[in-house]
Amino acid sequence: MPTRIDVTNGSCVYVERVEDILAQLLPDKRVIVISDTNIDRTHHDLIAPYESILVGQGEQAKGLATLEDVYTRLIELGADRQTFILGIGGGIVTDIAGFVASTYMRGVEFGFITTTLLGSVDASVGGKNGVNVGGFKNMVGVFSQPKFVICDVALLHTLPEREFRAGMAEVIKTAILGDRELFGMLEQSSFEALRKDDALLESVIARCIRVKADVVAQDEREGGLRRILNLGHTIAHAIEKCSQRYSHGEAVAIGLHHITKAALADGVISEADGSRIISLIERYGFDTELPVERKLLLKAIEGDKKRKGNTIHLILPTAIGKVEDRVVKLTEVRL
Ligand code: GLY
């Protein structure tokens, strides 16, 4: 059953087959695709009908040097303010495409087709599009909503297991912070079942997008409520800063595990709910050990863009489906 979820400012997410919806959504304009070399191999048919710019892969590609290359290519192609940018890929591609589209000639329209689970439930939805600078994640960016995002579960069939699992970290995060029923569904289900069952996966993705859309609609520019979407991310970003071992989603799973342990130690979550969260993360096959020394992670947290002076907002789970935004001194952060 196709699903359309309104986010904010006219931005919509469609959980639907690309071939059933894309033609209706693309405006009658020149379309330039931004994608990457891997997607060009795995989903060439999606890219082939359009002029395209392919970027490199991995977090290293999400930097200022790539932006310069893409702007230069757009100028060479003669892209103007009437051009529509279509980002096709995972979170790295959609971040680059969204940032480029929002700044090229002071902004052109754009939309996304997301090809990863992480992109479908988180990275391509919500309008934050940015790039990394100096090893710090998403340090430069914009709030700018895509006209549409298409999440087609058929595109996820080719995802390697490791990438699918990384996306599951954001699914679990969403369930913890805002959807107790989804959390129960994940407990009843399994990694293998979600890989195989498109209908189940579509309903899980749609639930995650609804939670995110609801939060973004209330606080698009992250003045308050939206911070809850960063559950597990302060630790995750610090891990990503200090080590190349884990992808973003894998680092989020470690972050969720450790922030839940901190919440248990502080007594802000019941033993029952805290243990269910820890068990679910383990059952979906995530590593949970911190890959670097705590003192290095704490130093990296000091560089987090969400830091305010010597304090930082930490999002703590207080029950399954509920979180609390706490301002803590950097010296009081415990891992
Ligand atoms: N683009 C990701 C977000 O807005 O949260």
Model pLDDT for residues 184-200, shown as the tens digit of each residue:
999 999 999 999 999 99
Question: Looking at residue 1, what is its pLDDT?
Answer: 59
Q: Give per-residue pLDDT as tens, 297-326.
A: 989 888 777 778 889 999 999 999 999 999
Neighbour tally for 48: CB within 10 Å? 10
Of ligand 1's listed atoms, the one at least distance from the Cα of 123 is 2
C-alpha separations of 295 from 49, 83, 101, 239, 290 in Å: 50, 48, 39, 11, 11
Task: State mean pLDDT over 166-176.
Answer: 98
For 61-87, write each residue's pLDDT tens digit.
999 999 999 999 999 999 999 999 999
The answer to whether the CB of 126 is under 6 A from ligand 1 is yes
User: pLDDT tens for residues 253-292?
Assistant: 999 999 999 999 999 999 999 999 999 999 999 999 999 9
Mean pLDDT within 11-15: 98
Domain architecture of the chain: domains with CATH: 3-157 (3.40.50.1970), 161-332 (1.20.1090.10)
The ligand 1 atom nearest the CA atom of 95: 1
What's the confidence (pLDDT) of residue 309? Answer: 81
Q: Cα(100)–Cα(108) distance, rounded to whole angstroms?
A: 9
Closest atom of ligand 1 to 229 CA is 5
Please tell me what DSSP assigns to residue 308: E
> Binning pLDDT at 50, 70 and 90, where does residue 4 land?
very high
Query: What's the pLDDT at 335?
Result: 75
Residue 328 pLDDT greater than 70, yes or no: yes
The closest alpha carbon to 260, from 330, 175, 166, 161, belongs to 175
For the segment 161-168, the average pLDDT, to the nearest whole number, is 98
Question: Which pLDDT value is given to residue 95?
Answer: 97
> What SS3 state is found at 181?
helix
From 11, 112, 122, the mutation candidate for ligand 1 (largest count of ligand atoms within 8 A of CB) is 122
Per-residue model confidence as pLDDT tens digits over 231-243 = 999 999 999 989 9
Catalytic residue set: 106, 128, 170, 212, 222, 226, 230, 233, 237, 248
Determine whether the shortest distance from the Cβ of 123 to ligand 1 is under 6 A: yes
Cβ neighbors of 278 (< 8 A, separation 6 or more) are 257, 260, 261
Does residue 127's CB lie within 6 angstroms of at least one atom of ligand 1? yes
Q: What is the C-alpha to C-alpha distance for residues 116 and 157, in angstroms, rounded to an integer?
A: 10
* Rounded distance from Cα 122 to ligand 1 centre (Å): 6
Nearest-CA residue for ligand 1 atom 5 is 126
CA of 119 to the centre of ligand 1 (A): 9
The C-alpha torsion from 105 through 134 and 91 to 229, rounded to 10°, is -110
